Structure 1
Amino acid sequence: MPIRYLFKQFFLPPGLFLLMLLAAWWLRWRYPRLARGGFVGGLLGLWLMSLPIVVEWGGRALENDAPLPQSAWTQLQREAQAIVVLGAGRERGDPAWEGDQPSHLAAERLRYAARLAKASGLPLLVTGGLHYGQPPSEAALMAESLARDYGITVRWREERSRTTRENALFSAPLLREAGVRRVVLVTQAAHMPRSRWCFERQGLQVVAAPVGFLGVANARPFGGWLPEGKAFWQSAQLLNEALGRLLYPWLY
């Protein structure tokens, strides 16, 4: 099991806040003041991450690339030579589909990339390796979805990567071999700055095509100040991205 998976489970929410609450209970008699601080911190963290308004604020802070105007889609061949779609995990064994499927984040990227490909005529590369070592690869699932759902045949499949850095590292040789130096990059808006950084580090010119913006009006009752499960998941995604953006330049 990858160490980074364990790190995320224990040191990112909700694991971190649950550990704080557990520590508060354990230390309540010996260190009551420390226990109170851990209890308040854990409870406050869980509450804040469940607020749609916090998701909106986080999205605005992290989504630094502007959306690609639809008026520019038909002109993308002037700026790029291929479209690259990053994997985003998979859903295991859905009985309705009789097998694994791209995650809903990946499906959102695929739908957007299909629109771009049909408007521009650019070829597609999908990138994503095995999910915890189990086939099929994310790239294979994405290629199948594009073919069946959108009638688009993928030109390149990169099936080894496990991280955003590896998406770029392993995709770049496939593109260079085909003479591709400029790409349209499709991923979630908050994920785009780190993804673009990784691909530019491989010597590619990137046209950002972000999708799935979270830093927009949340349209929830009471201005987004009521907790909800969806907001907690979105907050966790944004926090993971914020940490990744801090760590990538240091690690790579």
Structure 2
Amino acid sequence: MSAWLATNLIAAVLLPPLLLVLLLTAGLIFHRRRPRLAMSLIILSTTALYTLATPWMGGLLLRTLEISRPIGVTDIQKAEAIVVLGGGRRIASAEYGGDTLNGISLERLRYAARLHRSSGLPILVTGGKPGGGTLTEGRIMQQVLLSEYGIACHWVEDAALTTWDNARLSAQHLKPKQIQRIVLVTHAWHLRRALPLFEAQGLSVAPAGIQFSSARIDSILDCLPTPAGLRDSTFALHEWLGILWYKLRSFLSESNP
């Protein structure tokens, strides 16, 4: 079993919806021997599922991760390159006849193309093959930029399996060219985890987040559970879990030089 697979299996167990399913299952198993415990687990899991599945809670949790506003013209003018983080692929996509980018990666790439056209800054795309497949995220992003936007990448990093890899391996491409100031394109909820990792590589980072969230309740529908609400809550909790994991790994590294 690869380290990437093991990490994602652990994360799946610690995050909804699987965590809530496990709690509910435990409640059903103990309902005869420990009725009070069983009822507590059932109420906890169902209440948590309902709450986390509401768009309001999903937006609220995503907002806790946002550390910047949309990037300004001044920040772009000071930068020397644009770095785009891959956000995943669709492996063996039937309609494309092979691996292609998922929606998250395409959203990031589209915004990077917009920033490039307004600034002329060179683009670095980064992403490997987490989970297998044929083509890396980096190579697919390079192809999409060229074929659909008419933009040629200056650098392609295609070995990264994690956000930490994205930062470390991207820096290896940029530093030989004396590039220190970058625009980092990713989702707004991903910047809290990604930005410090790039800064740790000695880079000056201007965050260019996309899809900033809302925590407002605009209608009753925001308080009703939806698949999109649960997805957003899971994204947010996954990011906080990743942040804690990186902090723990950093602490262990410092404790065992």
TM-score if structure 1 supplies the norm length?
0.93
Q: Does 1:227 align with 2:230?
A: no
C-alpha contact 1:21 1:39 (8 A) present in aligned 2: yes
Aligned counterpart, 1:239: 237
RMSD of the alignment, in Å?
1.6
C-alpha contact 1:87 1:127 (8 A) present in aligned 2: yes
C-alpha contact 2:145 2:153 (8 A) present in aligned 1: yes
Q: Please give the per-residue CA displacement for 1:67-101, whole angstroms capped at 9, x wherever unaligned.
A: 113xx17x72x411110000101012222222221
Tell me the matched-pair count: 247
Aligned counterpart, 1:22: 25
Change (3 A) 1:216 1:82: farther
Identity of aligned residues (%): 36
C-alpha contact 1:51 1:231 (8 A) present in aligned 2: yes
Change (3 A) 1:3 1:9: same
C-alpha contact 1:130 1:162 (8 A) present in aligned 2: yes
Superposition pairs of residues 1-252 of structure 1, within 5 angstroms: 1=1, 2-69=5-72, 72=73, 76=76, 78-215=77-214, 217=216, 221-222=219-220, 224-252=222-250
One-letter amino acid of the counterpart of residue 145, structure 1? V
Change (3 A) 1:230 1:243: same
Task: Decide which moves more: 95-104 or 226-235.
Answer: 95-104
TM-score if structure 2 supplies the norm length?
0.91
C-alpha contact 1:63 1:215 (8 A) present in aligned 2: no
CA displacement at 1:55 relative to structure 2 = 1.4
One-letter amino acid of the counterpart of residue 241, structure 1? E
Change (3 A) 1:225 1:7: same
C-alpha contact 1:126 1:142 (8 A) present in aligned 2: yes
> Could you list the runs of 5+ residues in structure 2 that have no partner in the other structure?
251-257
SS at match of 1:93: strand
SS at match of 1:191: helix
